[in-house]
A and B are shown apart, each in its own frame.
Chain A
Amino acid sequence: MAHELAALSAELSSVTARAGQSVVAVHARPRFSSSGVLWAPGVVVTAEHTVRREEDITVTLPDGSAAAASLAGSDAGTDIAVLKVESKGPALVISGEPSPGDLALTVGRSQDSGVNATMGIVSAVSGSWRTWRGGRLDRYIRLDLTLYPGSSGGLVVNTEGEVIGIATSALSRIAGLAIPAATIQRVLDEILSSGHVARGYLGLGLQPVELPNHQKGLIVLSVGENGPAAKAGFLLGDILVSLDGSGVSDTDDIQRILEARAIGQSVEAVAVRGGEPRKIAVTIGERPRGN
């Protein structure tokens, strides 16, 4: 039994050391550094909430040397920031679907102490999940492990050393999450090609309501000035019941529909005004950036 534990211990430390070859320390905020991952040659991915400045960003590479990094772009919605650094790590092996109960390690790095690790388990896995910041994670992967200051942006691996994702403490109040590898790849591609992640936008403040006939809809509480909805003629008090041919009963439905359509495309909305449904064509705009 003791032997088994020793074997597990040796396995965990060797997985940590190997993963550490892909992990850098990111210096982009006051006081605590965070961690980042050499995801592809010349590309470091880290947690967006730990990047508090756009210039003078440096990283501490696995060999202990410092390198300048430039911010290629970031997406607050999924808490992903992409840095360009002249360095590369070993090719990452992405894990298959993680299961609740799998042992997981978060591997980070600091300038003073080098590689660091924290261990726990994957506590929950479910399908596509909308973050409170508006982005979409391809999987919701909740971690039962302690994330310390500096752990965010670290590489989450299983005991085989396969990559589950990148750790973040900013997307859930109750637990650390792994931003799934698939989401990172998707967001990374978009950031590298256009510098940011464009999100569809109507410019409506909406609240779910139930109509007298028990139909569900979203009542318009605010209309963004000069936004796509304002230009299309939406008024306060309109009740949006369908968008692009699908019924809508929650703001999540709107986000999902907008995600499937390109910015600049026109979609047909149905809104109840004065008890009468009416069709309104609206051109999807781009969500204003800046925070």
Chain B
Amino acid sequence: MKRLLTGLSVLILLALAGCATTTKEQEGAAVEDRGAPAGPPAAAPKPAPDTGAKPLVGKPLGAAALKDPGNILSRRSVYFDFDSNLVKDEYRPLVTAHARYLQQNPGAKMRIEGNADERGSREYNIALGQRRSEAVKQMMQLLGARPDQIESVSFGEEKPKATGHDEAAWAENRRADIVYQGE
């Protein structure tokens, strides 16, 4: 049900973005849980939702905004549910803000680094992380960023942010990070 809702919200977002292309993600295809019980993870760390973010209106923002802790652009990580590469609702403002930044700064370029948790094949996890980074990229494109401004890459399970071996660590590692060129 939760996944369905997330899926719906993405669809709504895509509709809002005025685009009719279909996503290529397959729901339920990203089998990352590897034996974890069905249902959402119990102890997953939930990064602070990006509510209360400053609206991006008026003059284009410069590079300084990317590092301003008070600006939503300083937030760089999109977290994923297990078994999912869908960008959750709570990350929509973050993704929107970065997409607008790219639109307003045509020379700006970024890399989106997808990650996966440690379980299973390293190569398959590279592909899972890639699918996550591409999901974020697609959303940014739909919101006005040029495809050549964004390179989607994947570290798979090779660069874990959390080194533990429990669901909390795995949830932390199911993630896509935004890194601007020159950072």
A binds B: no
